[in-house]
Amino acid sequence: MRTSSVALLLGVCVLLLSALTVCAVSLSVSPNLQQFFTAASVSLTCEGQLGSDGWTVKRDTGSGTESCGAGGRGFGRFNGSSCLFDEFEPISGVYWCKGEAGEKSEEVNITVSDKHVILEIPALPVRTGSDVTLRCKKKTGGTAAAYFYFNGRLVGPKSEKNITINVQQSDEGLYWCSTDEFGSSPQSFLRVRGQITDITSCLKPIC
């Protein structure tokens, strides 16, 4: 009797979880990039089936969790479902959307640098089969000829203004660029998604 009611409860939990994993809220970054120079203008928006509960953008920069628009313990300015860094400079950290009931989107890493070059690389996961172009952007404007690295290995034999990848699952990993004149960019992780797996980006802790 007891085991069957536990099994029933578990069954209900599993059903609830599988229903709720479909909520698929994601954090979109505009422009869709992971690396920025200091004082860049960036907006972060919670997108998808937000429901009626409140959503906010959270971050962790290594000294605890902060909320968008929360004054002293916060950052940015929250408007609707967007967090705007117009009066506040972006800072390197992990950012995500959080619903009032505890739902959480996938995390996005943002890296802010005051060095000479950054890597132009999308913040959102890219689909297999699509093309992604990476560039090494100069603080002074324009693109530097650079060597591009993937998981510690040099991609291509010479320095290039850009590289375009027709994305396969095996292209997921850490990228950076290196120039003779301006040094190296920070590293960022390119996430790759298959064609049909986009229902796992939101989990509600229920059981």
Ligand X SMILES: *[C@@H]1O[C@H](CO)[C@@H](O)[C@H](O)[C@H]1NC(C)=O
Report angle CA 60, 64, 66 to the nearest 5 degrees.
Answer: 65
Parallel, antiparallel, or unpaired for β 192-193 and 126-127? Answer: parallel
Cα separation, 95 vs 35, whole angstroms? 13
Residue 40 interacting with ligand X (CB under 6 A): no
Query: Order of strands across the sheet with 55-60?
Result: 35-37, 108-113, 93-99, 55-60, 65-68, 74-75
Distance CA 33, CA 188 (A): 10
Quick one: which of 50, 94, 124, 203 contacts ligand X (CB under 6 A)?
Answer: 94
Scan residues 157-196 and list those touching ligand X (CB under 6 A).
Answer: 161-162, 164, 189
Binding to ligand X (CB under 6 A) within 7-26 occurs at: none
- Closer CB to ligand X, 162 or 184, in the complex: 162
- Using the rule CB under 6 A, is 80 a contact of ligand X? yes
**Could you say which residues in the range 100-139 bind ligand X, by CB under 6 A?**
107, 109, 133
Closer Cβ to ligand X, 13 or 189, answer by number: 189
Looking at beta carbons only, is 80 or 141 nearer to ligand X?
80
Q: Which residue has the tokens 């599993």?
A: 14
Q: How far is the CB of 160 from ligand X (least distance, A)?
A: 6
Cα–Cα distance, 199 to 181 (Å, whole number): 44
DSSP structure string for 20-80 = HGGG--EEEEESS-SEEETT---EEEEES---SS-EEEEEESSS-EEEET-GGGEESEEET
* Count of residues in contact with ligand X, rule CB under 6 A: 10
Site string for ligand X, 55-74 (x = CB under 6 A): --------------------
Q: Is residue 19 helix, strand or coil?
A: helix
Minimum separation from the CB atom of position 82 to ligand X (A): 7
Give me the helices (H) in the chain, please.
2-20
Cβ of residue 88: shortest distance to ligand X, in angstroms? 13
User: Between residues 18 and 200, which has the closer beta carbon with respect to ligand X?
Assistant: 200
Name which of 8 and 86 has its Cβ closer to ligand X.
86
Catalog residues that contact ligand X under the rule CB under 6 A: 79-80, 94, 107, 109, 133, 161-162, 164, 189
